[in-house]
Structure 1
Amino acid sequence: MLDIPRIKAISLDLDDTLWPIWPTIERAEKVLHDWLVENAPMTAAMFSSPSALREIRAYMSDNRPDLKHDLSALRRESIRLALYRAGENPLMAEKAFEVFFAERQRVELFEDVRPALAFLAGRFPLVSVSNGNADLERVGLAPFFRAAITAREFGVGKPDPRIFHAAAGALDLLPQDMLHVGDDATLDALGALNAGMQAAWVNRSDAMWPHEVEPQLSVGDLTQLCDLLR
């Protein structure tokens, strides 16, 4: 059971908790491909091959382990490698990535999100905790949050307890003062529990909980969470 009096602040995951991520990524990749067709057609042809893309991503993962928590850098350097292999100007990688990244920030929020954030932010300090590369300013949700913790900037991603502890520290609180809210059973809910936080699993797809230790709360959307905290 959720211990509501203990909650002094809330940390929130972003991708697939506040918006569906794969439609966003697919749209951003389409915009990137269209840009490459106009500006780097040989690279665009390479990006049209799923096997070539898999090979480039595997190469980057194997050869740049320093970038494993920085999805932006991985994407940018993968584009740079593709440009180089296609015999086109690798310096175009910066512009190509920005085309992708700008579209990646054009998320479509779940219907419950904006009213829920308004409610929660009016009662608790909020901090985002994300392994992804969404930018709260560009997404338009920064006014709801006191802080944003990303794996890219922190150097460690969920479910490592340290990133959850960093979220608590950003608000000058202890982990036990926090409720973490997220969609991923392992990265978010179990990760938060192991970090000493309470956890609310946002289960929009009615999935089965996969672990032995259960979170304090499971909800179908953020409206249900807000109803419990009123």
Structure 2
Amino acid sequence: MAISQPASLPPCESQSVSNLALITLDLDETVWPSKAVLRKAEETQFKWLQQQAPYLTAKHDLESLRSHRRFIRERYTEIAYDLTAVRTASLRLLLEEFGYSPGLAEEAIAIFLEARNWVTPYTDVPPVLEKLARTYRLASLTNGNADVQYTPLKAHFHFSLTPAIAGAAKPAPDMFYRALEQAGAEPHQAVHVGDHPECDIIAAQQVGMRAVWINRLETPWPADLPPPEATIKNFHEFEQWLLQETKTQKPSANLF
């Protein structure tokens, strides 16, 4: 699925107080909780399948469908990084197995993706992103399949990247390099915020970006990994960290 680009975002202001140009953000468990919305999206799709493919749903429930997707990821490693492709391939095979047109899979996926975007951002996120988007390029880097253009946060992102676009999922460096290239920024001019120690923090640091770990649940950092540069519990704390960091840097010409 191609991720669309916001068309009406205001341009970055020219009064940048540091050489920071790009802020990349993970989505699930960083800017919104995902477990409930994923469950609801799967339930919505399943109800549709009950009408369109009753023989399939008579033999499979939500858990067995998840098990089949795990099988697809293990068997078809060439698409394992793309969760939407895995879901589509799984449904196509199951539909065909039960005598239905595999083409129904695309309709079922559309039903799922529409519900997948019914997210509710954490309350600290929208006001902070609204301010940051006036000064910096904001980009979402997600291993999931939510499209920010169809969420309440659509006005704040300049562009969005997924494994389907980058050709690999985090912690591979592809998505980070693609974001830097698209923003016209060098690694030292970018900071990434995410909740996953390896896929977000270590991965961003390995390409030369700064990385801030958002730890909303206050879980321990893995003992076998080097510590993050900074840890925050919400985006208000990220705003304060960013303000403190920019005070220590000399102003430079804005890249935009």
Of residues 32, 43, 52, the one that matches 2:56 is 43
2:201 paired with 1:189: yes
Q: CA deviation at 1:91?
A: 2.1
Q: CA deviation at 1:222?
A: 0.8
- For the residue of structure 2 that corresponds to 1:90, the secondary structure is coil
What are structure 2's unaligned runs of at least 5 residues?
Answer: 1-16, 244-256
Of residues 176, 198, 221, the one that matches 2:210 is 198
Runs of 4+ residues over 3 Å off in structure 1: none
TM-aligned CA distance change 1:121 to 1:200, over 3 Å: same
2:196 paired with 1:157: no
- Following the alignment from structure 2 to structure 1, what is the Cα–Cα distance between the partners of residues 66 and 185? 43
Which residue of structure 2 lines up, in the alignment, with residue 219 of structure 1? 232
- Following the alignment from structure 2 to structure 1, what is the Cα–Cα distance between the partners of residues 119 and 145? 12
Which residue of structure 1 lines up, in the alignment, with residue 77 of structure 2? 65
- Following the alignment from structure 2 to structure 1, what is the Cα–Cα distance between the partners of residues 48 and 225? 47
Which residue of structure 1 lines up, in the alignment, with residue 189 of structure 2? 177
TM-aligned CA distance change 1:212 to 1:47, over 3 Å: same
How much identity, in percent, do the aligned residues show?
32
Of structures 1 and 2, the one with the larger relative CO (CA 8 A, separation 6+) is 2
Which residue of structure 1 lines up, in the alignment, with residue 96 of structure 2? 84
TM-aligned CA distance change 1:185 to 1:144, over 3 Å: same
- Following the alignment from structure 1 to structure 2, what is the Cα–Cα distance between the partners of residues 53 and 213? 33
Q: CA deviation at 1:20?
A: 0.9
What are structure 1's unaligned runs of at least 5 residues?
Answer: none
| Count of matched residue pairs | 226
Q: CA deviation at 1:74?
A: 1.0
Q: Which amino acid aligns with 1:13?
A: D
Q: Which moved more, 1:90-99 or 1:216-225?
A: 90-99
More helix per residue: 1
Contact 1:165–1:174 (8 Å) recurs in 2: no
Contact 1:33–1:47 (8 Å) recurs in 2: no
Q: Which moved more, 1:166-175 or 1:88-97?
A: 88-97
- For the residue of structure 1 that corresponds to 2:103, the secondary structure is helix
Q: CA deviation at 1:212?
A: 3.3
Q: CA RMSD in A?
A: 1.8
Q: Which amino acid aligns with 1:189?
A: I
- For the residue of structure 2 that corresponds to 1:83, the secondary structure is helix
